A and B are shown apart, each in its own frame.
Chain A
Amino acid sequence: MIKIESLSKRYGPVTVVDGVSLTIERGTITVIVGTSGSGKSTLLRMINRLVEPSGGRVLIDNRDTAAEPAHLLRRRIGYAIQGHGLFPHRSVAENIATVPRLLGWKVARIRARVEELLAVFQLDPAAFAGKYPHQLSGGQQQRVGVARALAAEPVVLLMDEPFGALDPIIRTKAQDDLRGIQRRFGTTIVLVTHDMDEAFRLGDRVAVMSDGKVLQYDRPAMLLTRPADPFVSRLTGTGDRALKLLSLTTAAEASEPGAAEGPSVAASASLRDVLSELVWSGAAEATVMGADGKPAGRLTIAAILARGRQA
């Protein structure tokens, strides 16, 4: 658990982060979203003390982060950034091994960890371990960057616009992969982005920042249905908010028992996708298929529309 207590950063007369307090639950993804200059990156960088706070404090598992030397703190916290920041003179394996080496892990343990991570990130260890960053595609470099951040099994992973340099198709894939990896390792992730869709897609909770303050910190659905501030609704956008809301709920969550006619949809599909499928096929209801491949329930168009209405 990360506890941020009235954290501030001032540069001379300018206040970049202004008394922010947040509690981030263990094993969740928290997305800090805001326009450029909102102070979101500074807030993130104060968690691993790349920026030293002017006031307030950060507790990780009830330990004050100021209590130990900054470089030792950072070795316990994963850090991934836009444009990956890989070391161009070191191979993929050496890049991933950076923090375990700093921590003095045994060679065999480092090798095993590097191979495990390469496999998790769908990079064949035999083919990729010895390659250099310039030999990889943008998507591969980004994956190695995240693998490197996770190498020493950190409890917390900080990510600063990690997908900003990727094209839209690879970005969506990378976001899905991050979700899977977060579930696999149970890492607590704090991610900064200016992309509201990314925030909605990834965040268990989203903090909206403007002018150094957190305007609202809540579940994504609440940002849509109960915006705390006109700026929040401006940022989330009002034109397609019903569809955005539908995209936050899966078919499994909304389905009711019973058999149905009509197209079959995956339990993990969002209501937005199910609605699209129903409009396309002209059917009034869909069959929700369970993970075992058998029908698990039904979903009517009326039920979906009800979910998309302002609660």
Chain B
Amino acid sequence: MNPDAMTVPAARTVHLDRLGTLLSVVGVAALWLLPFVVFKINRIVSGHPRVLFDVLPLWSTLTFYLTLTLVAVIAVAVGNARIRLIAALLGIVAVALVIGGAADALTPPGNRWVRISPGAGFWVLLIALGLVATDAIARLQPRPAIRVLALLVTAAVVAAALASGYFDHLSIMREYAVNASRFAREARQHVLLAVGSLVAAVLFGLPLGVLCHRLPRIRAAILEVLSLIQTIPSIALFGILMVPLGALAAREPWAGQLGISGIGAAPAVIALFLYSLLPVVVNTVAGLARVSPATVDAARGMGLTNWQILIDIEFILALPVILTGIRIVLVQNIGLVTIAALIGGGGFGTFVFQGLGQTAIDLVLLGAIPTVALAFSSAVLLDAVVDVMNKTLR
């Protein structure tokens, strides 16, 4: 037999994407096993899951399942990151449209007491699709400016979708409608607490970091104290601060006038400030240590003053590492501020704890989802800044 006759053209092997396969399995399981939408007669009773076929017209339910199937096939078998991203976004839009439509269909006209909540299936599906999307973005390796632009566009689209009224029958939006004026106030307070304690930590931590860099003898002691503070649980730290701050406010009238008291924003800001110090100081020290001694020696030898060496050379060269520390602090603070609501500090945590107290899970989500979105957005923004810095200051 002619050996040549045996050679056949190599079959185009379909490469199975491991992450895509895993997420598709998770998504399909979520859709079949977990409720997608839950009907509650009012906001605090436990709800009853509803089957989509009973809620929406047959054709839209079928279109939804077909769309998700297509997304799953692409996630499993297509390697092109652009197509994967478009598919994931398509899936997210479909999920959003269906949950909004289901909420609409399930709400009896004029009834303001029923609550239509997204079920566990919705959340798992959304997370799976979100992971496919972020994975595709990571593979595309977009430039920092593109990433920031994508974030802004996403924020604008989400804001427009929520403002359109399409989701108004959804339980979280119902809770929002009830709390709209407080929501804006708590959002402002949340950002203020997180950013304010960060600014204080930077103002205090940068000089402290420079001091640690210049005086190695005190470095270990300072870093140990700051690490120790980090190990104190936040609730305990609030408690520790409550006593001296309360005493101060009681003894000195000016302290009370400044808004300092044992509970409220003052202990929250101080606690967040203390937690923020370690990352700021550690990264300042690490950034300064990264500057080559030869560079500093040459700078001094050419007649730069100590101040010029610190600002023009050491500090600028350390900036990417310092900014990485600031990013850690900001994301950490946005999460930690939630706890501040426990002692009357305000912020999105107010909704979380109120919701927990009332066993109203939708109110918890009203506090939790914006917190996550805020932390995620600031991480994307600061990552972009750090990337730009690293590129210019190699």
Hey, which bits of chain A sit against chain B, CB under 8 A?
48, 50, 71-75, 79, 81-89, 98-99, 102, 132, 134, 145, 148-149, 158
Contacts and interface: CB of A to CB of B under 8 A. Distances in A.
Contact of A71 (B297, B304, B316): B304
B178 interface: no
14 contacts: A71-B304, A73-B303, A74-B300, A75-B302, A79-B301, A79-B302, A86-B298, A87-B298, A88-B295, A89-B316, A89-B317, A99-B302, A102-B302, A134-B394
Nearest to B296: A85
Nearest to B393: A89
Interface string B278-309: 00000000000000101101111111110000
A81 B301 contact: yes
Interface in B69-125: none
A75 B300 CA distance: 10
B297 to A, nearest CB: 6
Interface in B301-324: 301-305, 313, 316-317
B297 A85 contact: yes
A86 B313 CA distance: 11
B7 interface: no
Contacts of B392: 89
A83 B294 contact: yes
B390 to A, nearest CB: 11
Nearest to A75: B303
Contact of B298 (A71, A72, A81, A89): A81
Counting chain B CB atoms within 10 Å of each CB, which of A85, A88, A98 scores highest?
A: A85
Given A50-B300, A85-B297, 4 more contacts: A48-B301, A50-B297, A75-B302, A88-B295
Nearest to A48: B301
A81 B294 CA distance: 8
A153 B292 CA distance: 26
B394 A88 contact: yes
Q: Most A CB atoms within 10 A — which of B297, B300, B302, B393?
A: B302
Nearest to A72: B303
B301 A74 contact: yes
B393 A74 contact: no
Contact of B295 (A73, A87, A102): A87
A98 B393 CA distance: 17
B336 to A, nearest CB: 34
A40 to B, nearest CB: 16
B303 A71 contact: yes
Contacts of B292: 83, 85, 88
B304 A85 contact: no
A71 B317 contact: no
A102 B308 CA distance: 10
Contacts of B297: 50, 81, 85
A58 B224 CA distance: 45
A194 B299 CA distance: 24
A46 B362 CA distance: 72
A85 B313 CA distance: 11
Nearest to A69: B305
Contacts of A73: 303
A74 B303 contact: yes
Contacts of A145: 298
Given A132-B394, A134-B394, A85 B303 contact: no
A87 B303 contact: no
Contacts of B294: 81-85
B291 to A, nearest CB: 9
B386 to A, nearest CB: 15
A88 B317 contact: yes
B179 to A, nearest CB: 49
Nearest to B306: A71
Contact of B304 (A48, A84, A102): A102
A189 to B, nearest CB: 15
Contacts of A134: 394
A75 B295 CA distance: 16
A198 B305 CA distance: 33
Contacts of B313: 87
A99 B304 CA distance: 8
A87 B299 contact: yes
A210 B300 CA distance: 27
Nearest to B316: A89
Interface string B311-350: 0010011000000000000000000000000000000000
Contacts of B298: 79, 81, 84-87, 145
A73 B313 CA distance: 20
A71 B300 CA distance: 8
A134 B299 CA distance: 18
A83 B300 CA distance: 15
A85 B297 CA distance: 7
A83 B294 CA distance: 7
A50 B393 contact: no
A123 B297 CA distance: 25
A48 B302 CA distance: 9
Contacts of A98: 302, 304
Contact of A99 (B300, B303, B305, B394): B303
Contacts of B305: 71
A244 to B, nearest CB: 32
A88 B394 CA distance: 7
Find the residue from B292, B300, B316 having the highest chain A CB count within 10 A. Answer: B300
Nearest to B294: A85
A197 B278 CA distance: 52
Contacts of B316: 89
Nearest to B298: A85
A98 to B, nearest CB: 6
A86 B302 contact: no
Contacts of A75: 302-303
4 tightest A-B contacts by CB? A85-B298, A79-B301, A75-B303, A74-B303
Contacts of B301: 48, 50, 74, 79, 81, 85, 158
A132 B393 CA distance: 10
A87 B292 CA distance: 9
A227 to B, nearest CB: 33
B269 to A, nearest CB: 35
Contacts of A158: 301
B126 to A, nearest CB: 43
B295 A148 contact: no
